[in-house]
Amino acid sequence: METYLYAPAFERFITLLIILNAITLGCLTYSYQDHGPDSPLVQRLLAFDMAIICVFVVEIVLKIYAQGFRFFRSGWNIFDFLIVSLGFLGGSYPLTVVRSLRILRTLRIVRHVPSMKVIIESFLRALPGIGSVIMVMMLLIFIFAVIGTSLFAPVSPEYFGDLQSSAFTLFTVLTLEGWPDIAREVMPIIPGSWIFFVSYIGINSLVILNLMIAVIIQSMQKEYDEHAEEEREDILAEVRAISARLERMANSPTNK
Amino acid sequence: METYLYAPAFERFITLLIILNAITLGCLTYSYQDHGPDSPLVQRLLAFDMAIICVFVVEIVLKIYAQGFRFFRSGWNIFDFLIVSLGFLGGSYPLTVVRSLRILRTLRIVRHVPSMKVIIESFLRALPGIGSVIMVMMLLIFIFAVIGTSLFAPVSPEYFGDLQSSAFTLFTVLTLEGWPDIAREVMPIIPGSWIFFVSYIGINSLVILNLMIAVIIQSMQKEYDEHAEEEREDILAEVRAISARLERMANSPTNK
Amino acid sequence: METYLYAPAFERFITLLIILNAITLGCLTYSYQDHGPDSPLVQRLLAFDMAIICVFVVEIVLKIYAQGFRFFRSGWNIFDFLIVSLGFLGGSYPLTVVRSLRILRTLRIVRHVPSMKVIIESFLRALPGIGSVIMVMMLLIFIFAVIGTSLFAPVSPEYFGDLQSSAFTLFTVLTLEGWPDIAREVMPIIPGSWIFFVSYIGINSLVILNLMIAVIIQSMQKEYDEHAEEEREDILAEVRAISARLERMANSPTNK
Amino acid sequence: METYLYAPAFERFITLLIILNAITLGCLTYSYQDHGPDSPLVQRLLAFDMAIICVFVVEIVLKIYAQGFRFFRSGWNIFDFLIVSLGFLGGSYPLTVVRSLRILRTLRIVRHVPSMKVIIESFLRALPGIGSVIMVMMLLIFIFAVIGTSLFAPVSPEYFGDLQSSAFTLFTVLTLEGWPDIAREVMPIIPGSWIFFVSYIGINSLVILNLMIAVIIQSMQKEYDEHAEEEREDILAEVRAISARLERMANSPTNK
């Protein structure tokens, strides 16, 4: 797919750096708490992290220099570029959030482990088929959130106080987590509200079932097409050979 | 499938109105709480909602006028008709419920987004196959609810007080949500009641597994039939061509 | 499959009685609580239930009389026989349990509704394939229950007090319900006990995944075999017709 | 697969011993609690357990003596060897843990029950395909654990206090168990933290869906390959017979 312009040794070095960076950032979470942000250990770990990110920047700059604009044609390159760039924004965003996102650099490892790369790529290929099911689920959450807020806001302000609370509550109900508690809070006061919950869960279960099947069918069809194609080609080749032989036979006696 | 008698521009206009209507009704949930039902903002939003519903009514009247009785042959048209009609009942039902159901008009968007329409239509086609499984599940809930009420009503009035409470409790157990708490309330008092819960969960898990498989098999069969049909046609066409050629060969020498 | 020796009208009458019986027993749960077990309403409902069970007994006696020993060859007949017999045991078992099991007679409806009958029969056919997976799960629960009791009994007597408590707890963990609460009770005292829970959940998830796949594959194979068989027969018939024609052609010129 | 060098009667004897051992160890959990570790009943059960383990040791020694180094080529033999060896370590590990692991000897039963053996073997064959999905999940848990610890440690020390707490919390969220409680603890203090939970659950649901599909596809492909192969062979054999007959026909007239 993509041409690497440097030696495999360099690539293995980058893989090692990514793993070292993950370990460094993992250690940082402990040292922050145990020694405080200004302790020499934290300072040294941060310096090491900075050194690694510098290598990453150099790596990407070299690759852009070597490949020019073609660099940005590979999705994995764009991903690397964005992940490494993350380390340089900061400014207006709260510092802890930006800092915590440094760990996303570990995701770069996926590109360097072939078995993981296969999973992520098959995953990304399946996304478009999933996309419209997720849109339907978001539409359902929106509709039920508006109904839920209108009906239950005075009864259960914690769960249905406003539109975004209702939407979050309905997302938790989507995972079925703790929904009976929510339902039992509302049901004694508003009769018939069980219809709201049962229909929401019923519809969503069927939509999720649909999602699963859509993805299974899609994967199987691809698998099947490849195999069936091959099988058909085998039989057709045999049959066509017979056809050609017949052709020759049909022609030869008339010529005689 | 269905012929639209007006320009695509008009259809796009209706799609826009549906989205605007969804936003309006979403905003209404906030303004109701923040400004009260009689504030000018709420009044203006309600007026806008009324204007949109008027356009919807005009749209449907025009369509019925143009298509006559054929209008009601399309399921989507009947759906539009019912959804828009919802806005006009009220009277005896509690006002908040009727009002909250206005948001169902947003479901009309599904018809105008092809990828969503495909999902909903495949979903509706799968329903009949699911129907009898759901009937079996409702039968199971009924039977276990009667047993549960008879045995556990005095011990756990909250969960098994009467038949509808038991049925709701058993629906929550169907989603596995919080069932150990319910079981642990009953088990110390009535020995052997774990059999009730374990058999209910066991049977239902297998029925749900059955449901999933029924839907998967159904979807795959359709998929497979299409592909296999095609494949078979390819091979059969080739084979029949040979057959026809043989026929000609068999006839030509005897004519000679 | 089985020959009915009486008219469809009689069968429809039995179906009606089963439904009436279900309604009667449903009503009984309410009247017991509202009016007490000796109220005239309860007495009348019980008498009606007794009348219905008498008809069922007569039905089965007639069927056994007509079909002789063949009656017991049909699984559905044996099922009917057992379900109706349930009403006559009592004696040593606690009365409320026996009474509550009367509702199982409603299960007889399954035989009279074809779409339900299909589901139950396909369900029973799938059971043997599931059986050994369930045996593996029970073996896992037993092994983890022994380990859990040995390690956690002093720490968490409620959940791991003795072998059957541990087995029930591990069954609830199998449904994933409330397992973090159980784990968090044990983990601060016994370090490394997270390995117990994580490995149990991990192994069981994979076994359940295996169970699902076993059933899906089994169902699909049957489906596929039927279709593929048909398809192959179509192609083979065509191919054999050609073969026969060739045979005739090969013979006719030599005869000439 | 493997040759048993002793009579089936001996194998049946070993199976019986495994079951007796399981019962003994199950009884031990009760007698420990009821009578204390030094009671005569416990002593007798322990002696019986020791006797059984001696038979197992003799069995394995005999098998190694008979089969030599070939013994260690069978995975099941290595498994037996490790499981029985477990009884002899002890020393540095805490005694209760080592003792509780004795029950793992019951796993030996799997080898002696063919239907269980099939499941475990198909399960082990599926593991490599699952392996890389589990690696992706562990990578996700690590990344989210580092982010979660950085952001939420001061707010929710119980759930996100340090890296391993966060990792365990995120494993519980993976099973969806109790996640709304965890999220609601953090969300009022750190705005936007719902993104953390919703994205974690969303990504993981899709990865698990992917895992399921990977295993289903893998199992089906093997199933399908076998059947399709057979079917193709049938048709190809027929077609090749025709081809051969044509060959003969084409040759015979020219010879005439």
- Report the share of chain D in percent with pLDDT over 90: 15
Q: Is the minimum CB–CB distance between C14 and chain B shorter than 8 Å?
A: no
- Nearest Cβ partner of D172 from C139, C180, C250? C180
- Rounded to 5°, the CA angle A123-A126-A128 comes to 125
Chains in contact with chain D (at least 3 beta-carbon pairs closer than 8 A): A, C
- Tokens 């249905």 -> residue: A160
Q: Is the minimum CB–CB distance between D165 and chain A shorter than 8 Å?
A: no
Write down the pLDDT at residue B141.
93
Distance CA C220, CA B214 (A): 10
Angstroms from A36 CA to nearest CA on chain B: 41
Q: Tens of pLDDT along D168-221?
A: 999 999 999 889 999 999 998 888 889 999 999 998 888 888 777 777 777 776
Q: Is the minimum CB–CB distance between B230 and chain C shorter than 8 Å?
A: no
**Is A172–D180 a contact, with Cβ atoms under 8 angstroms apart?**
yes
Angstroms from A250 CA to nearest CA on chain B: 6
- CA nearest to B153, candidates B181, B178, B190, B179: B190
**Count of pairs with CB atoms under 8 A, one residue in A, one in B:** 126
Q: Is the minimum CB–CB distance between B254 and chain A shorter than 8 Å?
A: no
Angstroms from B136 CA to nearest CA on chain A: 15
Q: Give contacts of A142 with chain B, Cβ < 8 Å.
A: 22, 26, 106
Q: Give contacts of D120 with chain C, Cβ < 8 Å.
A: 136
**Is B234–A239 a contact, with Cβ atoms under 8 angstroms apart?**
no
Distance CA C62, CA C26 (A): 28
**Is A163–B29 a contact, with Cβ atoms under 8 angstroms apart?**
yes
Write down the pLDDT at residue C107.
87
- Report the share of chain B in percent with pLDDT over 90: 15
* Position with higher pLDDT, D142 vs C84: D142
Q: Would you list the DSSP string of D47-112?
A: HHHHHHHHHHHHHHHHHHHHHGGGGGGSHHHHHHHHHHHGGG--TTS-HHHHHHGGGGGGGGHHHH
Write down the pLDDT at residue D99.
74
| Position C1 confidence tier, pLDDT thresholds 50, 70, 90 | very low
- Nearest Cβ partner of A213 from B104, B219, B245? B219
Both structure tokens of A164: 């975004």
Q: Tens of pLDDT along B93-146?
A: 566 777 778 888 888 888 888 888 877 887 777 777 778 888 888 999 999 999
| Position B200 confidence tier, pLDDT thresholds 50, 70, 90 | very high
Return the top range by mean pLDDT from A141-150, B74-83, C8-17, D241-250.
A141-150
Distance CA D29, CA C162 (A): 7
Q: Would you list the DSSP string of D198-239?
A: HHHHHHHHHHHHHHHHHHHHHHHHHHHHHHHHHHHHHHHHHH
Residue B2 has pLDDT above 60, yes or no: no
Distance CA D77, CA D70 (A): 10
Write down the pLDDT at residue C93.
55
Q: Is the minimum CB–CB distance between D233 and chain A shorter than 8 Å?
A: no
Name the region of B107 (left: φ>0; alpha: ψ -120 to 50; beta: rest).
alpha
- Nearest Cβ partner of B99 from A135, A150, A214? A150
- CA nearest to D207, candidates A205, A106, A124: A124
- Nearest Cβ partner of C215 from B179, B213, B247? B213
**Is B163–C130 a contact, with Cβ atoms under 8 angstroms apart?**
no
Q: Tens of pLDDT along A175-232?
A: 998 899 999 999 888 888 899 999 999 888 888 887 777 777 777 766 666 666 677 7
Write down the pLDDT at residue B197.
93
Q: Which of A123-127, D133-137, D206-210 shows the lowest mean pLDDT across its residues? A: A123-127
